[in-house]
Amino acid sequence: MRVADLKTMAEQESAALAVFRARLLVCYSAPCLAAGADAVREALEKEVAGRGLAADVQLVSTGCLGPCSRGPMVTVSQPGQADAVYEKVTPETAVAILDHHASQGPPADGFRMSPENPFLTRQMRVALANCGLIDPERIEDYIARGGYGGLAHALHELDPSEVCFEIKHSGLRGRGGGGYPTGLKWNLVRKAPGAKKYVVANGDEGDPGAYMDRTLMESDPHRVLEGMAIAGYAVGAEQGFIYVRGEYPVAAQRLDKAIKAAERLGLLGSRVLESNFNFRIDIRIGAGAFVCGEETALMASIMGLRGQPVPRPPYPAQKGLWGCPTLINNVETFGNVPDIVSKGSDWYAASGTPKCRGTKVFALCGQVENTGLVEVPMGMTLREIVYDLGGGIPGGRAFKAVQTGGPSGGCIPASHLDTPVDYEGLQQLGSIMGSGGFIVMDDRSCMVDVARFFMEFCLDESCGKCVPCRAGTVQMHRILTRITQGKAGPDDLEKLEALCEMVRDSSLCGLGQAAPNPVLSTLRWFRDEYEAHIHEKRCPAGVCRLTPSEGGER
């Protein structure tokens, strides 16, 4: 395929779509399927066939649209009109929606999400731009929306150093959580000496409550592949690996289909888009270890070894897969790349904050009205995310804290809700941006119990290689359990803090170094809760069942 063919294909596809009076996009991702998207689609299919509307109305099963608590979602796209988004659609309302949009029936406004809903209006979708709007299994859908245009532009109009410069200039930083400047990393790998280089996409998303990467891989797999191919061209790699978490079989299937489709069209494989650039992508599937999200452990796993981290330096950019320079970026980072290249780095750098450009996807969950995936510009405050996009706390309860960054992150209290979200801002509060988990908690959450939960996660997921993480997490978890049971002694808090510091400072990899974060941050903002458990044998939130003594059980 040549660049001209790509354009022709996009035009033909757009023309083919323009003939439909209405396109009904049924969200077919896991939350909507669980809520009954299957029945909705079936009812629509029957109705469309029954009324002989097949030539006027197109039914599409899409990936995730975002507002997951409101599923099943149906979006109606009509030429010349703004998209109408319907929530909590049942087979009956689906028919009413069809009536309205295809047969001039009365509006089904009762089920329509208000177009002014901040959940829709406040977002800025870059990585998620196509999610919920295209059929992830059709490469034509992606191409119709400008897909692979970034790759074509890079291959035919830019040389590798210019691509790296564009990425650097865009201000994009690693979306896996570390926030390392992406352009800098690409340049490191490009300049590293080596006949063979590799590109790896980290799709081993393991934080509890986080599903940004899964959604991206399931709903818009080609975007990730295009980002990787551009990276391959920029750093001089001919082989890419995409490491998909074992718990994401649908993502792996869709990526596999996408790779085959792209290879058939000459968008991957040998002589990509008739250039001299060759790029293959293979999928590697994880086997359920959280630590394999750590880059050195991930590489060990790709090479068929036990998934254990090794000390850095040497960094993967110098010595990675099979000793060759290797570029590792998160799936979401790659998801931003195609648009940066096709629309220009200035366009991307225009959003966000001076230090953190662009957007970030968050998985809003916990005690908020609107749970789901949101992509917002960097620098939006926590309050805007929780109250505007999230719609506030259900039942009029009080906001207590938001947990960001999963087991490596921390809890941020209500007094800091006006903090703008960026890497440094969250770090100053003792949390991290992380991959984008965003768990909102109300006054019914006990912060000691939350810390205990995350410590349990870390002790279970520790690989066991270094002593501080392997044995330290066990002891920290025991102390936290004692506190939540009301059995802790007065010296336990001191012991816990000392352990936290030691494990943070001396563990081998990021998992151990960050494992004490949930404890340290809750100690920082909610120390009184720890003290109430220990000294008064009382759980202020009423969560922990303390052994009855002076304070009694609540």
Partner 1 sequence: MPVVTLTINDELVSALDGELLLKVIREQGVKLPTLCHLDGLSERGGCRLCMVEVEGIHRLQSACTTAAREGMVVRTHTDRLVSYRKMILELLFAERNHVCAVCVMNRHCELQDVAAKAGVDHVRYDYLATGLPMDTSHERFGLDQNRCILCGRCQRVCDEVEGAHTWDVMGRGAGSRVITDLNHPWGESRSCTSCGKCVQVCPTGALFNKGVTVSEMEKEPEFLTRILEGREKKQWSR
Q: Does 19 bind partner 1 (CB under 8 A)?
A: no
Contact segment (CB under 8 A) with partner 1 among 95-103, 130-138, 456-464, 519-527 equals 456-464
Q: Using CB under 8 A, pick the residue from 215, 329, 473, 517 that binds partner 1.
A: 473
Minimum CB–partner distance for residue 472 and partner 1 (Å)? 6
Q: Does 90 bind partner 1 (CB under 8 A)?
A: no
For 381, the token pair is 């405050």
The enclosing H or E element of 363 equals strand 359-366
Nearer to partner 1, 102 or 297 (CB): 297
Cβ neighbours of residue 217 under 8 Å, at least 6 residues apart? 203, 224, 242, 244, 248, 251, 254, 255, 331
Minimum CB–partner distance for residue 551 and partner 1 (Å)? 24
Buried b (16+ CB within 10 A) or exposed e, 119-148: bbeebbbbbbbbbbbbbbebbbbbbbbbbb
Nearer to partner 1, 280 or 470 (CB): 470
Q: Using CB under 8 A, pick the residue from 39, 158, 250, 471 that binds partner 1.
A: 471
Q: Does 539 bind partner 1 (CB under 8 A)?
A: no
Question: How many C-beta neighbours within 10 Å does residue 498 have?
Answer: 10
Decide: 146 and 11 in contact? Cβ < 8 Å. Answer: no
Decide: 496 and 538 in contact? Cβ < 8 Å. Answer: no
Nearer to partner 1, 21 or 478 (CB): 478
Q: Using CB under 8 A, pick the residue from 10, 48, 281, 291 that binds partner 1.
A: 291
**What's the order of all strands across the beta sheet hosting 84-86?**
57-62, 22-27, 74-77, 84-86
User: Tokens 């044998």 map to which residue?
Assistant: 537
Decide: 207 and 407 in contact? Cβ < 8 Å. Answer: yes
Q: How many chain residues interact with partner 1 (CB under 8 A)?
A: 32
For 540, the token pair is 């202020």
Nearer to partner 1, 400 or 477 (CB): 477
Minimum CB–partner distance for residue 478 and partner 1 (Å)? 5
Q: Using CB under 8 A, pick the residue from 465, 485, 487, 536 that binds partner 1.
A: 465
Q: Does 69 bind partner 1 (CB under 8 A)?
A: no
> What pairing do the DSSP bridges indicate for beta strands 359-366 and 372-377?
antiparallel
Q: Does 466 bind partner 1 (CB under 8 A)?
A: yes
Minimum CB–partner distance for residue 353 and partner 1 (Å)? 23
Minimum CB–partner distance for residue 309 and partner 1 (Å)? 9
Q: Using CB under 8 A, pick the residue from 50, 80, 193, 311 that binds partner 1.
A: 311
Contact segment (CB under 8 A) with partner 1 among 46-54, 153-161, 374-382, 460-468 equals 460-468
Minimum CB–partner distance for residue 301 and partner 1 (Å)? 12
Q: Does 459 bind partner 1 (CB under 8 A)?
A: yes
Decide: 423 and 356 in contact? Cβ < 8 Å. Answer: yes
Q: Does 467 bind partner 1 (CB under 8 A)?
A: yes
User: Tokens 């759980």 map to which residue?
Assistant: 539
For 78, the token pair is 């009509």
Q: Helix or strand or coil: residue 469?
A: helix
Q: Using CB under 8 A, pick the residue from 320, 335, 377, 472 that binds partner 1.
A: 472
Minimum CB–partner distance for residue 285 and partner 1 (Å)? 18
Contact segment (CB under 8 A) with partner 1 among 119-127, 250-258, 439-447, 454-462 equals 454-462
364-393: which residues touch partner 1 (CB under 8 A)? none
Contact segment (CB under 8 A) with partner 1 among 78-86, 159-167, 261-269, 506-514 equals 506-514
Per-state percent for the chain, helix, strand, coil, to nearest 5: 50, 15, 40
Minimum CB–partner distance for residue 503 and partner 1 (Å)? 9
Q: What angle, 0 to 180 degrees and rounded to 10, lies between the N-to-C axes of helices 221-235 and 160-170?
A: 120
User: What gap in Å lies between CA 9 and CA 462, rounded to an integer?
Assistant: 49
Nearer to partner 1, 7 or 470 (CB): 470
Q: Before 118, cis peptide (omega within 30)?
A: no
Q: Using CB under 8 A, pick the residue from 318, 351, 427, 506 that binds partner 1.
A: 506
Q: Does 296 bind partner 1 (CB under 8 A)?
A: no
Minimum CB–partner distance for residue 493 and partner 1 (Å)? 13
Q: Does 513 bind partner 1 (CB under 8 A)?
A: yes
Q: Does 487 bind partner 1 (CB under 8 A)?
A: no
**What's the order of all strands across the beta sheet hosting 280-285?**
280-285, 239-244, 198-203, 326-330
Contact segment (CB under 8 A) with partner 1 among 168-176, 236-244, 263-271, 457-465 equals 457-465
Q: Using CB under 8 A, pick the residue from 2, 191, 271, 306 that binds partner 1.
A: 306
The 8-class DSSP code of residue 283 comes to: E
What does residue 405 show for φ and ψ, rounded to 5 degrees? 80, 10
The enclosing H or E element of 361 equals strand 359-366
Minimum CB–partner distance for residue 195 and partner 1 (Å)? 22
User: What gap in Å lies between CA 81 and CA 295, rounded to an integer?
Assistant: 45
Q: Helix or strand or coil: residue 369?
A: coil
Nearer to partner 1, 33 or 300 (CB): 300
Nearer to partner 1, 425 or 472 (CB): 472
Minimum CB–partner distance for residue 461 and partner 1 (Å)? 7
Question: How many C-beta neighbours within 10 Å does residue 283 have?
Answer: 17
Q: Does 489 bind partner 1 (CB under 8 A)?
A: no
Cα 115 to Cα 25, 127, 150: the distances in Å are 17, 21, 31
Q: Using CB under 8 A, pick the residue from 4, 16, 303, 474 that binds partner 1.
A: 474
Residue ranges of alpha helices (H) inside 173-294 are 182-191, 212-219, 221-235, 249-264
User: What gap in Å lies between CA 203 and CA 240, rounded to an integer?
Assistant: 13
Residues that bind partner 1 (CB under 8 A): 289, 291, 306, 310-311, 313, 459-468, 470-475, 478, 495, 498-499, 502, 505-508, 513
